[in-house]
Structure 1
């Protein structure tokens, strides 16, 4: 097994375990990640997923080069089927996953490893982590979605500098440009990812899924279309237990003065001025 799944309460941690190969993504590993994501999606007890790599050197060095070379040698149709379609399937699954996926980057994230980071809604990096788009050194552009997602996330010029040079950037720079949410000491990485998951999963699953759906589907649309996605996501939550419970909890809270006025509403009520 090259992917290990460990569940602790509502959190599943998926660990890419090809440490001697810097956790490179060969085809069985990609397929195993997809299968574990399917299992986590189908299990209602799972509220969030953390993806990390075995060891401390690498989150993932990207696509497994010997596998990739064999596919390319088989011609364009085979290469597109085995490399591009499989890579797109993985990053799209992560990007559109209905539960929060947090990548814990425990070392270098190059090529396909970086593309997983780009696809994930949230990412935390260890201080020693580095990020790179080295596909150009092999003679081709990023094939797992990186040529499209990275410019959308960090801007065209910053993305093109990474894609066209292949040069790595450190974790601090990745945080500065928005590729990761935070940078922490290596020994605190998994705990930080778990803490972030806990801050999210304290909220209703229906609300979390709706927020993920609204942002993921709307972020690349014109604003009017994005607002329509937001409206549909809002409407989909209205008859859920999450809304009923959330509103009841808020409305039943006593006011700071000891009355029954809901917290956050002005004492003089709507339509009046102080």
Structure 2
């Protein structure tokens, strides 16, 4: 099971690689569970400040393991929702609200659940050769890992429905236009671009980054008034911290700040 998701540490960045290349990194139940376990480990490790998520072989992830979840479907809606839907939604919700930045490095096929993970993480860089799709309609189901909700929030209702209702593939450039990814780069520049993005974030206080992620994630589903209250709350939580005092003193003194994450 430990081989389903590989983990390497590069200084303060954890690189997670989905590792079922023979199955196009299909999201089996065991793989999802392993990924959740590693996210728990990373959250608890203060030395790790960001995550890069990518796939082994020619796919980022082709989506859910259809053979596996079809067995759950045959057992009826209660089993299918518990084993398949809740597991997938828990994963994407965990990624969306994760307190450390998660950057997807989309190296190839990102269909179904692979596309939903890309939608859920905080930032994404895609290879020019990456291909996306929302193909669930072809097997008679709607997306179940949050894809009916996040894509419409990122791209708008009509543009999202075009992809959800046709199931057609779309390019990395189209994914960028829809707001699913931030940048599209040549294949050999994918991981360097992801590390560069991580490095630009890690210049700043990890605590402040966490507060920004919390404010954005919680505010997306709130009214503007509620969102502003969330923003104010996150600011108030930062005021008594060392990192705020250090950032202000460093700015005034024109020196590089030394953050503690507290």
Q: CA deviation at 1:253?
A: 2.9
Tell me, in whole angstroms, the C-alpha distance in 2 between the residues paired with 1:34 and 1:114: 17
Aligned residue number for residue 260 of structure 1: none
Q: Deviations over 1:140-188 (max 9, x none)?
A: 1001111111101110111101100000110011111211000001111
The 3-state SS of whatever aligns with 1:239 is coil
Which of 40, 44, 51 in structure 2 is aligned with 1:49?
51
The 3-state SS of whatever aligns with 1:143 is coil
Aligned residue number for residue 113 of structure 2: 112
Q: CA deviation at 1:240?
A: 1.3
Tell me, in whole angstroms, the C-alpha distance in 2 between the residues paired with 1:219 and 1:70: 35
**1:107-256 alignment, distance < 5 Å:** 107-253=108-254
**Matched-pair contact (CA < 8 Å) for 1:206–1:240:** no
The 3-state SS of whatever aligns with 1:102 is strand
Q: Deviations over 1:223-270 (max 9, x none)?
A: 00000000001111111121011100111239xxxxxxxxxxxxxxxx
Tell me, in whole angstroms, the C-alpha distance in 1 between the residues paired with 2:157 and 2:202: 33
**1:7-18 alignment, distance < 5 Å:** 7-18=9-20
The 3-state SS of whatever aligns with 1:5 is strand
Q: CA deviation at 1:5?
A: 0.7
The 3-state SS of whatever aligns with 2:8 is strand
Tell me, in whole angstroms, the C-alpha distance in 2 between the residues paired with 1:252 and 1:180: 37
Tell me, in whole angstroms, the C-alpha distance in 2 between the residues paired with 1:54 and 1:128: 14
The 3-state SS of whatever aligns with 2:68 is helix
Extract unaligned runs of 5+ from structure 2: 256-262
The 3-state SS of whatever aligns with 2:41 is helix
Tell me, in whole angstroms, the C-alpha distance in 2 between the residues paired with 1:252 and 1:72: 62
Tell me, in whole angstroms, the C-alpha distance in 2 between the residues paired with 1:219 and 1:86: 22
Q: Report the TM-score when normalising by structure 2.
A: 0.95
Q: Are residue 84 (structure 1) and residue 85 (structure 2) matched?
A: yes
Q: Report the TM-score when normalising by structure 1.
A: 0.91
Q: CA deviation at 1:219?
A: 1.8
Q: CA deviation at 1:44?
A: 0.3
Extract unaligned runs of 5+ from structure 1: 255-274
Tell me, in whole angstroms, the C-alpha distance in 2 between the residues paired with 1:17 and 1:253: 45
**Matched-pair contact (CA < 8 Å) for 1:11–1:47:** yes
Tell me, in whole angstroms, the C-alpha distance in 1 between the residues paired with 2:202 and 2:248: 18
Aligned residue number for residue 64 of structure 1: 65
Aligned length: 253
What is the RMSD of the two structures over their aligned residues, measured on CA atoms?
0.9
Tell me, in whole angstroms, the C-alpha distance in 1 between the residues paired with 2:122 and 2:218: 12
Q: Deviations over 1:177-204 (max 9, x none)?
A: 2110000011110111011000001100
Aligned residue number for residue 35 of structure 1: 37
**Matched-pair contact (CA < 8 Å) for 1:50–1:104:** yes
Tell me, in whole angstroms, the C-alpha distance in 2 between the residues paired with 1:46 and 1:137: 40
